[in-house]
Amino acid sequence: MKILLIQPPIEDFYITKQRLQPTGLLYLASYLKSFSYDVRIIDLLSSRRTSIILDPDLSYLSSIIPFDRTGIFKNYSRFGATNDEIIKILKEEEFDICGISAGFAAYYKTALETAKIVKNLRPESFVVIGGNASLICYEEFLNSGYVDAVVFGEGEITFLKIIERLKESRNLEGIENIAYIKDNTIIKNNFIKNYDIQKALLYTGLLDSNRYKIGKNRMLSIVTGRGCPYQCSYCTANINCLSGYQRQSISSVFYNIKLYVENEKISAVNIEDENFSCDRDYALSFLEKKIKDFKNLRLYFMNGLDYRTLDVELLKKLREADLKNLGLALVSNVKDKNILNRYTSEEYMEYIVKESLKLGFNVTVYLIAGLPYQTKEELKDLISKIWSWGAIVGLSPLYVVPGTSFFEKINFNLSFTQMRSTALISLSDNISSLDILDLLYFCRAGNLKLKKD
């Protein structure tokens, strides 16, 4: 039985080209390969852009974009393969089952377009969609007629069960953590914990490592854990990891890294989990092994680190482990902490920033704009304060996702397409979409001045 896994293109105003590796599909493909299945990954996402018409769900931005001074909103684009190119690529493929990644609800349309192309080319194939968007968009996927099953949570064991069942029939009854259609009705099976992160092996040869670089360095993006020990109200980490918070053993993580250093010639590794340092002993042990065995391997935490878990000893170890760019999320200056369920301390952030700068880090502090009760002037004051510490400011316009307690509290009516930062959604009566544009330019101009100084 041949299995094809696809990362679809996305449509937006910009992407971060260093973060395009289909990490989830890599873990899934490796797991299936360990059971001797013939599995391939096709990555249709890339930094190549094709200008397209603005999505109708974002049409309200047309009156705002002319005021953009950052250049971010200059072109709405498709990043990666066009539909004609996808058809040409998939015509050459033979497969029985196709798994399509849907990582973000905002991009569900291109995932669905890809499923349509697959079904039109191979009507007899079985199409599965999984990823973070599956819990939100499963009805849209299934009702389209192009998707046979939607997988929730960790996909490895669930996908394997689907494959084993399809050897006998297309009856999906009893397979946990999925939804499908039977007799014109969506059936949503029970959710269970079914994944042990210690089994997360990564095979080489499944991706073209030359496509995933930072600078000239081939880079592997991995996770050391899934889920999260915290309960921040705006985050989906605990919702999308049904098996709860888990950490992989350090020996297993470095086994995977070693394979990629030797076989794929990577010279950089990016750890995606932002709660890496919540277990201080684990973090120190990891960094010590990295320093000892992989001294020349560049280290990145592109998802940032939680400043509340850092101290000077950890910072020194991170620097010794060849981490240069340090991202720290302050999130916001919202006065009502119950909204976010996240404790913040500007005083401790300032301490960590200043200690990090002493050690030679490039430090970026990230904020969210558009949260309830924020004001434009208060955000500007906070941004200026962070500059006074010596750090760059990364401002992220708010995006909200159904299923989080934050979304349920605000009960805000959004289309899936608007669940992205570039939708410029504000939940504050004191900050408009135009204000967010102005704040983005304010940050960019101030960051450039700080770098020059």
Q: Write the pLDDT tens digit of every residue in 325-338.
A: 999 999 765 555 56
For the segment 340-358, what is each residue's pLDDT rounded down to a tens digit?
777 788 999 999 999 999 9
- Rounded Cα distance between 386 and 368, Å, is 14
Same-domain pairing of 364 and 281: no
Domain total in the chain:
3
160 and 285 assigned to the same domain: no
Residue 39 domain flag:
yes
Given this model, what pLDDT does residue 239 score? 78
Predicted local distance difference test score (pLDDT) of residue 428 = 87
Residue 162 shares a structural domain with residue 230: no
> Is 193 within the bounds of a domain?
no
Cα angle: 129, vertex 154, 181; to 5 degrees: 40
Same domain for 135 and 157, yes or no, is yes
- Residue ranges in the chain whose pLDDT is less than 50: none
Whether residue 253 sits in one domain with residue 362: no
Q: Are residues 37 and 121 in the same domain?
A: yes
Q: Is residue 202 part of a domain?
A: yes
Using the 3D structure, point to which of 281, 298, 316 is the last residue of a domain: 316
Residue 138 maps to which CATH number? 3.40.50.2300
Q: Which of 291, 316, 341 is the last residue of a domain?
A: 316
Residue 168 lies in a domain: yes
pLDDT of residue 336: 55
Do 335 and 430 belong together in one domain? yes
Any domain includes 56: yes
What's the full length of the chain, in residues? Answer: 453
Residue 376 lies in a domain: yes
In a domain, 104, yes or no: yes
| Residue numbers of the domain that contains 65 | 2-188
**Residue 280 maps to which CATH number?**
3.30.750
* 240 shares a domain with 143: no
Q: Are residues 294 and 361 in the same domain?
A: no
pLDDT at 149: 98
Question: Does 365 share its domain with 268?
Answer: no
Same domain, 37 and 152: yes
430 found inside a domain = yes
Q: Of 164, 188, 212, which residue is a domain's last?
A: 188
**For residue 25, what pLDDT is reported?**
97
Same domain assignment for residues 174 and 47: yes
